[in-house]
Amino acid sequence: MTPRDSRHAHHTDARRTIDAVWRIESARLIAGLVRMVRDVGLAEELAQDALVAALERWPADGVPDKPGAWLMATAKHRAIDRLRRSKLIQGKHDELAYALEHQQDDADAKVESGLDDPLGDDLLRLVFIACHPVLSTDAQVALTLRLLGGLATDEIARACLVPEPTIAQRIVRAKRTLADAQVPFEVPRGDALVDRLSSVLAVLYLVFNEGYAATAGDDWMRPQLCEEALRLGRIVAGLMPREPEVHGLLALMEIQASRTHARVGAGGEPVLLLDQDRTRWDRVLIRRGLAALEHAQRLGGANGPYALQAAIAACHARALAPEQTDWSRIAALYAELAQVAPSPVVELNRAVAVSMAAGPAAGLALVDAIAAEPALQRYHLLPSVRGELLLRLGRTREARVEFERAAQLTRNQRERQLLQQRAAACAASQPDRRMNADSGGAQAGP
């Protein structure tokens, strides 16, 4: 290897290290800066300044022993310099700069304990800011992936199948909205905590489900979204160990994620649940999910919406073969879920489970009872499930019509191809008695 090649390899290794450190440390770095400057937009700018400094210094000087502390110290110095240079609201800025400077004596110890040790309150506050109800759902998702996931704008755009300028605008507007609303940097308390925590969990659940069963695009799954939601779920569970629904959601995501490698064939095609090679299910994730579910239940959260969905996922995870699945138990759990979180989609899921436990006629009766629900009129899984049930009853002509309608409604290319194949099988009078493709926790299908 020539000296030039050696320098290039060293620089590449340093860049990989910096990228890894940024993904790990960025959320805590931004959270600590928000506490100091009380502005999400400014905090992220300062964090980015520190990242640029690392890109300039670390390849030559080496990665510091405490990379998180180095980034925070650099960002704080940049904050002081920036505030001193500013001509706006000079008195306030001087006061803040003075306060920041005089925190420096004990800052190193605090930074090290806050960044290189277990997560602290600052990060939890940032979680609640990113998912604040003053923001739209799309903005919450984008800001969560940006601030907490450490994803760049182009990464978020690719993951969400949205043009990069659109994502950039969402993030800018979200920061402006938070600033205009003067959202406090705090963890809500009392009754407010319940509503705000529900918003946080809903964002994580939405991100995970979009990765697990993509609503649009050419890919059946978007694993990066699943990974980010799962990583953030683990962080929130560590920050809020006494909240049962946090652990219920974590359990659901861990168990569902265990099937990732088995859900997609070599060519990217969907693999149905009953056809999956269960030896490819990740038993480590299953064990983690079952442990999280038990923790949620010990905290008294067995009847929470996420814990109930996790219990359903656990029934599948415990079955080493499809015929070992306890469909009666799954149907009963869906009935419980319908009581605590009623929705037509939950009823559609229950119909699938009932059809597996009591036969397709029983399931079809339940599907037909909800077929007129407005929320299901453009929902492709309604005709998809109905087609499967009709096929199992030998009514192939009717099943074909349902599969064709489902194929027209879905925006996911892989799913469309699957449904078109099901319709073609019906047309060729070659019924296939498999149930609908494996979907996410809130999707119809086993």
pLDDT digits (tens, 9 = 90+) for 36-53: 888 999 999 999 999 999
How far is CA 406 from its chain centroid?
26
Are 287 and 255 in contact by the 8 Å Cβ rule? The answer is: no
| Residue 227 backbone dihedrals phi, psi, to 5 degrees | -65, -45
Query: Residue 433's CB: how many other CB atoms inside 10 A?
Result: 10
When pLDDT is cut at 50, 70 and 90, the band that residue 195 belongs to is confident
When pLDDT is cut at 50, 70 and 90, the band that residue 107 belongs to is very low
Is pLDDT at 256 greater than 70 in this prediction? yes
CA dist., res. 51 & res. 74, Å (int): 9
pLDDT for 93:
56
How far is CA 77 from its chain centroid?
34
When pLDDT is cut at 50, 70 and 90, the band that residue 151 belongs to is confident
DSSP letter for each residue of 287-308: HHHHHHHHHHHHTT-TTSHHHH
CA dist., res. 391 & res. 398, Å (int): 8
pLDDT digits (tens, 9 = 90+) for 313-327: 999 999 999 999 999
When pLDDT is cut at 50, 70 and 90, the band that residue 113 belongs to is very low
Alpha helices, DSSP H, located in 62-136? 67-85, 90-102, 104-115, 121-130
Task: Give the single-character DSSP code of 264.
Answer: B
DSSP letter for each residue of 191-255: HHHHHHHHHHHHHHHHHHHHHHS-SEES-S--HHHHHHHHHHHHHHHHH-TT-HHHHHHHHHHHH
pLDDT digits (tens, 9 = 90+) for 3-33: 554 555 556 777 888 888 888 889 889 999 9
Q: Which residues pair with 411 in a beta bridge?
A: 216
**Residue written as tokens 């700018």?**
45
pLDDT digits (tens, 9 = 90+) for 154-171: 888 887 878 999 999 999
Q: What is the mean pLDDT of the chain?
A: 87
Name the pairing type of β-strands 216-217 and 411-412. parallel
How far is CA 94 from its chain centroid?
41
pTM of the model: 0.81
Collapsing DSSP states into helix, strand and coil, what is residue 270? Answer: strand
When pLDDT is cut at 50, 70 and 90, the band that residue 115 belongs to is very low
CA dist., res. 317 & res. 329, Å (int): 13
| Residues written for the chain | 446
pLDDT for 444:
43
Helices 223-239 and 153-160 pack at an angle, to 10 degrees, of 110
Element (H, E) at 411: strand 411-412
